[in-house]
């Protein structure tokens, strides 16, 4: 399901969004300002932060009351108790909490640092939380674009996660709509006739990572357009990208 050429474009000119804005509309306006139009097979990678903003998923620090549990954990980690309070509220459980780091399983089942809650690219004095239903957020943008243009695109909501074993963070797909996020090669044969036994590529994560390359962290480019990738269309869900705990050798 690959083509030999693809283009990744960072959409400049998307304004600072506000609660209730239509990201689909803003994307279409940004494209129009660059004299481009949407094409069949386009994939839009939308960074989590603007989703959280239009969905009003942030909290003012002054409104947060830290529980005793949060205060205790914060003390042991040398961290801010209000931040820890929010991290616990947005998680099912803690996976690791040591060396000043807290890794949780979020309410969505994602495993990441701080339940995905941070203070970057938001107004001072506020924390941004992950969208409640990132697949739903992706679906809404997809429907908005469909309504405006009649074109069926794919949408990925991306966020920046660390990972075990490797330094640095990469963008991964926390929400998807209109594409199957995994490409399963198992059972197919390579040119030597070997049957591939374990290869399943997380293409949605690779697309999210590719999008990060044009978005950056300081350039105010919250959306990337990937054109030319022959993705597998369908009703995929970001849940398919989450390893079930019983299969996971590192969640225990």
Residues in 177-196 at the binding interface with its own copies, rule: CB under 8 A: 181-183, 185, 188-194, 196
| Complete edge-to-edge strand list for the sheet that includes strand 101-106 | 91-98, 101-106, 111-113
Out of 52, 115, 212, 222, the only residue in the binding site for its own copies (CB under 8 A) is 212
C-alpha distances (whole Å) from 183 to each of 202, 211, 233, 235 are: 6, 18, 11, 14
Question: Candidates 18-26, 79-87, 98-106, 129-137 — which segment interacts with its own copies by CB under 8 A?
Answer: 98-106
User: Considering the rule CB under 8 A, would residue 7 count as an interface residue with its own copies?
Assistant: yes
Residues in 225-244 at the binding interface with its own copies, rule: CB under 8 A: 229, 240-243
- What is the smallest separation between the CB atom of 128 and its own copies, expressed in angstroms? 11
- What is the smallest separation between the CB atom of 241 and its own copies, expressed in angstroms? 5
**Is the dihedral angle over the CA atoms 219, 220, 223, 227 positive or is it negative?**
negative
Out of 21, 29, 89, 206, the only residue in the binding site for its own copies (CB under 8 A) is 206
C-alpha distances (whole Å) from 170 to each of 42, 102, 142, 189 are: 22, 18, 24, 30
- What is the smallest separation between the CB atom of 72 and its own copies, expressed in angstroms? 20
Tokens 């994602």 -> residue: 110
Out of 23, 38, 88, 111, the only residue in the binding site for its own copies (CB under 8 A) is 111
- What is the smallest separation between the CB atom of 207 and its own copies, expressed in angstroms? 7
| Cα separation, 167 vs 79, whole angstroms | 21
Using alpha carbons, select from 55, 46, 233 the residue that is nearest to residue 128: 55
User: Considering the rule CB under 8 A, would residue 3 count as an interface residue with its own copies?
Assistant: yes
User: Considering the rule CB under 8 A, would residue 135 count as an interface residue with its own copies?
Assistant: no
| Cα separation, 23 vs 33, whole angstroms | 15
Residues in 32-71 at the binding interface with its own copies, rule: CB under 8 A: none
Query: Judged by CB, which is closer to its own copies: 152, or 240?
Result: 240
| Cα separation, 41 vs 153, whole angstroms | 6
Out of 26, 73, 117, 172, the only residue in the binding site for its own copies (CB under 8 A) is 172
| Cα separation, 108 vs 135, whole angstroms | 10
User: Considering the rule CB under 8 A, would residue 151 count as an interface residue with its own copies?
Assistant: no
Out of 199, 233, 234, 235, the only residue in the binding site for its own copies (CB under 8 A) is 199
Residues in 12-31 at the binding interface with its own copies, rule: CB under 8 A: 12
Residues with Cβ within 8 Å of 150's Cβ and at least 6 positions away in sequence, in order, are: none
Query: Judged by CB, which is closer to its own copies: 117, or 140?
Result: 117
| Cα separation, 168 vs 237, whole angstroms | 26
């Amino acid at each position: 399901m690959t083509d030999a050429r693809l283009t990744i474009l960072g959409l400049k000119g998307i304004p600072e969004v506000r609660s209730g804005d239509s990201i689909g509309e803003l994307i279409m306006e940004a494209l129009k300002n660059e004299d481009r139009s949407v094409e069949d097979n386009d994939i839009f990678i939308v960074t989590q932060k603007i989703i959280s903003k239009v969905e009003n998923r942030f909290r003012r620090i002054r409104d947060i009351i830290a529980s005793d549990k949060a205060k205790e954990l914060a003390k042991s980690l040398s961290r801010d108790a209000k931040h820890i309070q929010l991290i616990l509220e947005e998680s099912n459980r803690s996976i690791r909490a040591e060396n000043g780091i807290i890794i949780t399983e979020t309410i969505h089942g994602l495993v990441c640092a701080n339940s995905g809650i941070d203070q970057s690219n938001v107004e001072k004095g506020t924390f941004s939380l992950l969208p409640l239903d990132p697949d739903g957020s992706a679906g809404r943008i997809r429907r908005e674009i469909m309504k405006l243009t009649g074109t069926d695109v794919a949408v990925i909501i991306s966020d920046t996660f660390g990972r075990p074993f490797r330094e640095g963070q990469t963008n991964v797909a926390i929400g998807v709509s209109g594409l199957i996020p995994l490409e399963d090669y198992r059972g197919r044969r390579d040119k030597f006739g070997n049957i591939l036994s374990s290869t399943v590529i997380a293409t949605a994560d690779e697309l999210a990572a590719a999008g990060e390359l044009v978005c950056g962290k300081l350039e105010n480019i919250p959306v990337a357009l990937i054109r030319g990738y022959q993705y597998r269309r369908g009703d995929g869900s970001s849940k398919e990208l989450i390893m079930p705990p019983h299969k996971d050798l590192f969640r225990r």
